């Protein structure tokens, strides 16, 4: 049975949907109902339904937000949206999030029946397709491409055709081997991660479909750099290959139901006569893909450009030290200045390429991480997250912004954490002073109580309170003395002793210095 969750802020609509059709007869089971978006989300998490039918307007969490969050929890979940006529345009906007269909109020039996039957058929097809793909060579494709990309990154020869055939079940032979990386870029992809993932999946499906039309022996997978493609052609036809990639790029860019400004960049490695050389070809494709940071083009061909893979970037020692010091000092302004100067120097280099931008990115990041670790614990996932986001950058300026925004944020966070760490012993010290101010209290006593060296504690105490230890203690004692002089029938001598002074003259002198009157006169004022 296919599991269904119904969500609408009106109970009568939910009841109508329950009774409008025979769900069980159609192969569905209603596993939960909700009157608000948050409850619907809980049901998605608990019941793992195949289908969520929701009103587009929902309290707590509106329909579109609910769809986004539910899809993050369960990527394969299907949706049907319910909408009134006045909300129809809003409902239409939900379609870009992968909504299956929509129903207009008032609900009609035949429409609801038709939609759920179509969806049942689709779910059945999806299940069958998944099973078929598992049995087919798609998994083997992924394994092969993982190995190929690894060889490309290491600059090592790849497997022979015979080895690949035996290990992965292909039928490679004599002919032409062609690799490519297809980079799919959209504006602000990070803000629409769910939609972007769906787009990439669609693009991957298109690439596999079109590759199958061109040749029987191919491998296509989704890697960090983009969609990686390996084609084996017994007879190479340049026109056919060009047409294939042109059609592929256009079809990907036509996926505008999710993003209007989809751009696909095709980066071709040079053609090779053996599979062993395919790693070198893929390495060229990677290089061209990175080079879009400097030369944004939708078509790059290593056979025409001959990429110089030896040209790299090295951050000079002086600049590296500058980043380390700025990060260690948690100085956002200095870091920003170092970054801007370094970036401008990078851009001024003759024949700057994308690989050099990536080198600069990694070296700046490494230097900053080293400096930050000297001041505190850095989020272990930061480097990995930034390296992943690097591939979303479409030009060198975007790479610089990525570093600036995220490193500054991390510096700010570390600075706040350091401040809290420093404040904690001062808070403890204040509490200790409150408990012991009546005693012959010394700086060494308090610093020892909170586990610090007296000299360092003194500096830290003044930094955080704006007073040195003795001034703070004196002010506290005099404040307590004023309370005692106003309240209880105590002599000035008794008050002095209760706030930690055995010498009455000394106490009177301090009291007058801070309040402007003697303890006796102060007592008279409040009688």
Residue 412 and residue 428 share a domain: no
Q: What is the pLDDT of residue 437?
A: 87
**Does the pLDDT of residue 251 top 70, yes or no?**
yes
Name the H helices within 160-256.
161-168, 193-214, 238-253
- Residue 246 neighbours by CB distance under 10 Å: 13
Residue 116 and residue 160 share a domain: no
Q: Of 374, 392, 416, which residue sits at a domain end?
A: 416
Mean per-residue pLDDT, 324-341: 94
Residue 194 and residue 51 share a domain: no
Residue 144 and residue 80 share a domain: no
Mean per-residue pLDDT, 190-201: 77
User: Percent of the chain, pLDDT > 70?
Assistant: 93
Q: Of 252, 275, 305, which residue sits at a domain end?
A: 305
Number of continuous H segments (helices) and E segments (strands) in the chain = 22, 10
Residue 232 and residue 97 share a domain: no
Residue 142 and residue 129 share a domain: no
> Average per-residue pLDDT in the chain?
87
Domain with residue 158: its CATH number is: 3.30.70.270
Least confident range of 41-45, 64-68, 332-336:
64-68
| Pick from 79, 82, 84, 83: nearest CA to 96 | 79
Write the pLDDT tens digit of every residue in 355-369. Answer: 999 999 999 999 999
Q: Is 182 helix (H, G, I), strand (E, B) or coil?
A: strand
CA–CA distance, 383 with 59 (Å, rounded to integer): 38
**Does the pLDDT of residue 134 top 70, yes or no?**
no
Domain for residue 310, yes or no? Answer: no
| Pick from 166, 141, 136, 133: nearest CA to 231 | 141
Between the alpha carbon of residue 497 and those of residues 161, 435, 483, the distances in Å are: 95, 15, 14
Domain for residue 368, yes or no? Answer: yes
Q: Which residues are CB-neighbours of 473 under 8 A, at least 6 positions away?
A: 433, 437, 441
Confidence label for 176 from pLDDT (cuts 50, 70 and 90): very high
Q: What is the pLDDT of residue 262?
A: 86
Higher pLDDT, residue 409 or 488: 409
Confidence label for 95 from pLDDT (cuts 50, 70 and 90): low
Domain total for the chain?
4
Confidence label for 464 from pLDDT (cuts 50, 70 and 90): confident
| Pick from 61, 95, 109, 414: nearest CA to 256 | 95
E strand spans, 68-155: 78-83, 101-104
Residue 486 and residue 410 share a domain: no
- State which residues form the domain around 85: 2-133
Q: Of 416, 442, 466, which residue sits at a domain end?
A: 416
Residue 126 and residue 7 share a domain: yes
């Amino acid at each position: 049975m296919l599991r269904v969750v119904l969500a609408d802020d009106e109970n009568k609509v939910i009841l109508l949907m329950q009774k409008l059709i025979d769900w069980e007869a159609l192969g569905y089971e209603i596993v939960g109902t909700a009157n608000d978006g948050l409850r619907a989300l809980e049901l998605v998490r608990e019941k793992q339904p195949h289908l969520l039918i929701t009103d587009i307007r929902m309290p707590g969490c509106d329909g579109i937000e609910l769809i986004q969050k539910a899809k993050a929890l369960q990527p394969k979940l299907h949706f049907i949206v319910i909408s009134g006529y006045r909300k129809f345009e809003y409902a239409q906007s939900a379609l870009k999030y992968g909504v299956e269909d929509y129903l207009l109020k008032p609900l009609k039996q035949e429409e609801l029946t038709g939609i759920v039957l179509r969806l049942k058929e689709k779910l059945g097809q999806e299940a069958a397709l998944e099973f078929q793909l598992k049995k087919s060579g798609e998994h083997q494709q992924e394994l092969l491409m993982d190995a190929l990309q690894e060889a490309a990154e290491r600059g090592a020869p790849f497997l022979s055709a015979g080895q690949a055939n035996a290990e992965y079940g292909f039928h490679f032979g004599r002919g032409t081997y062609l690799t490519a990386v297809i980079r799919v870029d959209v504006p602000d992809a990070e803000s629409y991660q769910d939609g972007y993932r769906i787009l990439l999946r669609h693009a991957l499906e298109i690439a596999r479909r079109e590759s199958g039309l061109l040749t029987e022996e191919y491998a296509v997978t989704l890697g960090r750099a983009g969609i990686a493609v390996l084609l084996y052609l017994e007879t190479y036809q340049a026109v056919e290959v060009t047409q294939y990639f042109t059609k592929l790029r256009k079809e990907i860019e036509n996926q505008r139901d999710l993003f209007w400004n989809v751009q696909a960049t095709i980066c071709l490695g040079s053609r090779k006569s053996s599979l062993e050389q395919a790693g070198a070809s893929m390495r060229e494709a990677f290089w061209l893909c990175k080079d879009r940071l400097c030369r944004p083009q939708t078509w790059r061909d290593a056979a025409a450009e001959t990429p110089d893979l030896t040209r790299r970037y090295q951050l000079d020692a002086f600049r590296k030290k500058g980043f380390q010091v700025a990060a260690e000092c948690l100085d956002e302004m200095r870091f920003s200045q170092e970054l801007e100067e370094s970036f401008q120097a990078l851009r001024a280099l003759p024949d700057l390429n994308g690989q050099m931008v990536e080198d600069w990115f990694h070296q700046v990041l490494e230097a900053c991480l080293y400096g930050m670790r000297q001041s505190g614990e850095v989020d272990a996932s930061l480097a990995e997250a930034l390296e992943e986001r690097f591939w979303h950058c479409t030009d060198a300026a975007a790479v610089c912004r990525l570093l600036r925004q995220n490193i500054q944020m991390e510096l700010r966070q570390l600075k706040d954490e350091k401040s809290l760490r420093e404040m904690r012993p001062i808070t403890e010290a204040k509490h200790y002073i409150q408990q012991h101010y009546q005693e012959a209290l010394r700086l060494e006593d308090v610093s020892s109580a909170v586990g610090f060296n007296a000299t360092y504690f003194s500096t830290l105490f003044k930094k955080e309170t704006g007073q040195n230890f003795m001034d703070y203690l004196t002010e506290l004692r005099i404040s307590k003395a004023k309370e005692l002089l106003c309240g209880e029938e105590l002599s000035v001598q008794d008050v002095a002793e209760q706030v930690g002074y055995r010498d009455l003259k000394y106490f009177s002198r301090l009291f007058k210095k801070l309040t402007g009157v003697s303890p006796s006169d102060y007592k008279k004022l409040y009688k």
